[in-house]
Amino acid sequence: MKKLIFTGILAATLIALAGCGSKAEVAPSEEETTTTTEEETTTVEDGDEVTTEGVEELEGDEDTATYSGEKLPAVYFDFDRFEIRADQQDSISDIASAVSGGGATFRIEGNCDEWGTEEYNYALGLKRAKSVQDALVRAGVSESQLTLISYGESNPVCTQSNANCWRENRRVEVTVLP
């Protein structure tokens, strides 16, 4: 009898705890996201190890940087992806032409929407920042000018819970460092 009561209490506790650790959310539908083909993307190699260990977390609200009088464009990403979309190649080119050749250093800031765990979003933000860094280096920017950071979901530009905001928050911004 004691064994049966103990098993019942244990089962009830496990069921209660299982519901505490996750967000009760529904992912965006297929219509709210876009897809790309391999020919249209720039990717980080699958073998590249990307972790959140040692990722700097900054406080404060910083705007996208200006350099030489121009605002650097953001690079936007598809839901749950870190490949640079074909329609974002102009942004990469604009950033590369603005930052190459100078002695300034730049921080590449990866951001995510609110979907997923904080840990997952920090890792995804870092992968997005790494994709942009790799694309800028291929475009001729010196890697020594670039540092990476991931804000994960902690730095949204839009706080409403809808597809347009989620799309705006899936981005990488480049900031001039002092």
Neighbours of 32 (CB within 10 A): 13
List the domains of the chain with CATH numbers.
59-178 (3.30.1330.60)
Of 147 and 23, more confident: 147
In degrees, to the nearest 5, what angle opens at C-alpha 169 toward C-alphas 168 and 172? 100
pLDDT higher than 50, residue 21: no
Report, as an integer, the average pLDDT of 153-165.
92
61-86 residue pLDDT tens:
333 444 444 568 999 999 999 999 99
Of 62 and 120, more confident: 120
Please state, in angstroms and rounded to a whole number, the distance separating the CA atoms of residues 80 and 130.
Answer: 15
Please state, in angstroms and rounded to a whole number, the distance separating the CA atoms of residues 41 and 10.
Answer: 49
Q: In this structure, which amino acid lies at residue 174?
A: V
Residue 58: closest CA among 7, 107, 131: 107
pLDDT higher than 90, residue 178: no
Neighbours of 13 (CB within 10 A): 10
